[in-house]
Amino acid sequence: MRSIHRISGAGLLLLLACEGPTGPGVTGQWGGPEAAMTLSDQGGSVLYACGEGTVDPNWHLSPGGRWSATGRHYFGGGPVPAEGHQPHPATYQGMLTDSKLRFTVTLTDLGEILGPFTLVRNGSGPGNQCL
């Protein structure tokens, strides 16, 4: 019986060691009055009241709840050019506490910081309010 417990304990350690840096705590649907996000281990998407963004798959959630990612941001509004809106490289930085994710977006090519945005798990997003 003792060897079974050791195998189970070793199996549990192996399972925990295989969990990637993304972790399960922040994946899923998030929403708030100014933004909404869908996030998985493969990356994600962000919808703003007047714009959208992507999250690259190499995002990270620290054991303390700090979330960081890279991606792209697209401003919305006005007529859409044939080639689409210009992408801006973006860095996402945030903190996960309980069922809330608060984050900012830094547009690295423009030096602009958007946010902070506060989202709740399974919350609805802002909808498209852009003209």
In a domain, 127, yes or no: no
Contact 88, 114 (CB under 8 A): no
Contact 30, 108 (CB under 8 A): no
Give the pairing of strands 51-55 and 35-40: unpaired
In a domain, 129, yes or no: no
Taking the C-alpha atoms of residue 67 and residue 60, their distance in angstroms, rounded to an integer, is 6
What is the extent of the structural domain holding 66? 21-121
In a domain, 128, yes or no: no
Q: Which of these, 29, 80, 24, lies nearest to 51 by C-alpha position?
A: 80
107 or 81, higher pLDDT: 107
Rounded average pLDDT over 107-120 = 97
- The domain total for the chain is 1
In a domain, 38, yes or no: yes
The pLDDT tens digits of the residues spanning 45-102 come to 999 988 999 999 999 999 999 999 999 999 988 788 888 889 999 999 999 998 999 9
The pLDDT tens digits of the residues spanning 13-40 come to 333 333 344 445 889 999 999 999 999 9
Two tokens, residue 71 = 């991606």
Q: What is the pLDDT at residue 111?
A: 97
The answer, as to whether pTM is greater than 0.85, is no
